[in-house]
Amino acid sequence: MEPILRRPIGRDTAPLVELYARARRSCYEGHLPEAELVEWSEGLRAEGLDHDRPDRLWTCAEVGGVPAGVGPAEHDHRRMELDLG
């Protein structure tokens, strides 16, 4: 199945929060105290992701109709150069 990139929608919040919490745990487990990892995960689950903010654009990867990842889609207009030749 090919992944689809799209904007996240409301029903994506819970699965994306769980993906993010698992990813962070796998990265920091053994480097941060367990209590800190648990506290952060619980806070994330309570607050959710702020993917619907108007000042930020997020991209959601979907595979087989299931959210498989999320990340900010950044565009830095300061890095763009226009060559008019």
Dist CA 17 CA 25 (whole Å): 12
Q: What is the mean pLDDT of residues 11-32?
A: 92
Q: Specify the pTM.
A: 0.71
- Asked if 57 contacts 76 with a C-beta cutoff of 8 angstroms, the reply is no
Report, as an integer, the average pLDDT of 20-25.
92
Q: What pLDDT shows up at residue 80?
A: 46
Q: What is the pLDDT of residue 78?
A: 53
pLDDT tens for each residue of 53-85: 777 788 899 999 999 998 887 655 555 454 444
| Token pair belonging to 43 | 């806070």
- Give domain limits for the chain: 4-79
